């Protein structure tokens, strides 16, 4: 069981409140975990639906909150936004501080199956199960039965994978900025999967690769992806959005409505790109969360 939450700070922003919380996370092996939560001020005790934002490599719960440019539109649409961290902190697992694309700041939203990581590196359970339970238990004005998910880069991968794999159809829609869309075929994903998973890249492809998971999906999809052609990680073959689009096509979802993948000329990988399309993404999710 996760411990009670402690409020660390609070700031008023766009007719809402951004609150930073800390709690002892059972999913992350009883380490302290932090998250930010934006709650719009709603009238008459109404509860806000929850949009989950997953950040990229090297990030914490703060990057999206500080630089995403999400709050004006989220407030106008009456949506709450949850910003989790990107990995456990202080796990003491082997190699977790050796590079910026593995370990601390790089949890890849998987549940690790290698014994040296499996006690702490369980970001999948942390996001899908633990954080909604913690928010519910705290009695916050949030309706966790209405959730959608979006993210950037490693977090875009997380958003697509959590949306496509959650058995309970926990999320109504998913969107991603510059996602790692086919991680079992790129260096970042190969390193993460072979590091965290007993079955290596093969286990990753089966359980945590959006380009593979889309073939197993049944029923309608609501996915929006944007990437920039000036993104160096795109040019280096870390993102592979074309592979995801081809898979969507082959799986019968390429009608431009259920899965939209948009190439945005000249944008790079940064939060300038994210904040440019932030409003589009929040409006997209509002279509599904407000009903």
Could you list the residues that contact ligand GSH (CB under 6 A)? 56-59, 63, 67, 100, 152-154, 269-271
| Closest alpha carbon to 121 in 154, 94, 99 | 94
Backbone angles phi, psi at 66, to 5 degrees: -80, -30
Which residue of the set 85, 226, 231, 285 is catalytic? Answer: 231
231 catalytic? Reply is: yes
Residue with smaller CB distance to ligand GSH, 172 or 185: 185
Give the residue nearest to ligand GSH (CB): 56
Q: Which residue lies nearer to ligand GSH by CB, 63 or 243?
A: 63
d(CA 140, CA 163) in angstroms, rounded, equals 24
Per the annotation, the verdict on 98 as an active-site residue is no
> Nearest distance from residue 106's CB to ligand GSH, in Å?
9
CA 82/CA 127 separation, integer angstroms = 10
Min dist CB 237 to ligand GSH, Å, is: 14
Tokens read off for 35: 């998250």
d(CA 160, CA 210): 6
DSSP 171-202: EEEEEEES----GGGSHHHHHHHHHH-TTHHH
Nearer to ligand GSH, 106 or 112 (CB): 106
Locate all alpha helices (DSSP H) within the chain, ordered by sequence: 63-67, 71-77, 123-125, 131-137, 154-165, 187-196, 200-208, 210-213, 232-235, 241-250, 271-289
254 is catalytic: no
67: nearest Cα among 272, 268, 277: 272
CB of 63 to ligand GSH, least distance (A): 4
Considering the complex, what minimum distance in angstroms separates the CB of residue 200 from ligand GSH?
A: 22
Residue closer to ligand GSH (CB basis): 215 or 272: 272
> Residue 59 or residue 74: which is nearer to ligand GSH going by CB?
59
Q: State the minimum distance, in angstroms, from the CB of residue 214 to ligand GSH.
A: 22
CA neighbours closer than 13 Å in the CB half-sphere of residue 126: 34
CB of 155 to ligand GSH, least distance (A): 8
Give CA torsion, residues 209, 169, 68, 44, to 10 deg: -170
Q: One of 153, 173, 175, 184 is an active-site residue; which one?
A: 153
For the annotated catalytic residues, the residue numbers are 153, 231, 269
């Amino acid at each position: 069981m996760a411990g009670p939450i402690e409020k660390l700070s609070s700031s008023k922003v766009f007719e809402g409140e951004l609150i930073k919380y800390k709690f002892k996370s059972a999913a992350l092996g009883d380490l302290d975990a932090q998250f930010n939560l934006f709650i719009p001020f709603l009238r008459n005790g109404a509860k806000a639906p929850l949009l989950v934002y997953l950040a990229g490599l090297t990030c914490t719960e703060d990057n999206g909150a500080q630089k995403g440019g999400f709050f004006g539109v989220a407030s106008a649409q009456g949506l709450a936004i949850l910003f989790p961290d990107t990995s456990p902190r202080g796990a003491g697992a082997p190699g977790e501080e050796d590079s910026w694309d593995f370990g601390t700041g790089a949890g890849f939203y998987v549940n690790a199956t290698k014994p040296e990581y499996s006690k702490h590196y369980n970001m999948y359970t942390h996001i899908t199960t633990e954080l909604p339970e913690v928010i519910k238990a705290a009695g916050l004005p949030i309706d966790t039965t209405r959730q959608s998910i979006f993210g950037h880069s490693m977090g875009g991968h997380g958003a697509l994978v959590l949306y496509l794999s959650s058995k309970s159809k926990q999320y109504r829609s998913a969107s991603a900025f510059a996602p790692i869309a086919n991680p079992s075929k790129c260096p970042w994903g190969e390193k993460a999967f072979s590091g965290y998973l007993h079955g290596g890249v093969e286990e990753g492809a089966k359980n945590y690769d959006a380009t593979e998971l889309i073939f197993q999906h049944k029923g309608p999809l609501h996915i929006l992806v944007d990437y920039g052609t000036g993104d160096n990680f795109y040019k280096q073959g870390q993102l592979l959005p074309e592979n995801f689009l081809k898979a969507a096509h082959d799986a019968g979802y390429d009608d431009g409505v259920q899965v939209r993948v948009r190439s945005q000329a000249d944008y790079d990988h940064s939060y300038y790109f994210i904040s440019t399309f932030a409003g589009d993404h929040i409006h997209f999710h509002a279509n599904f969360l407000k009903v």
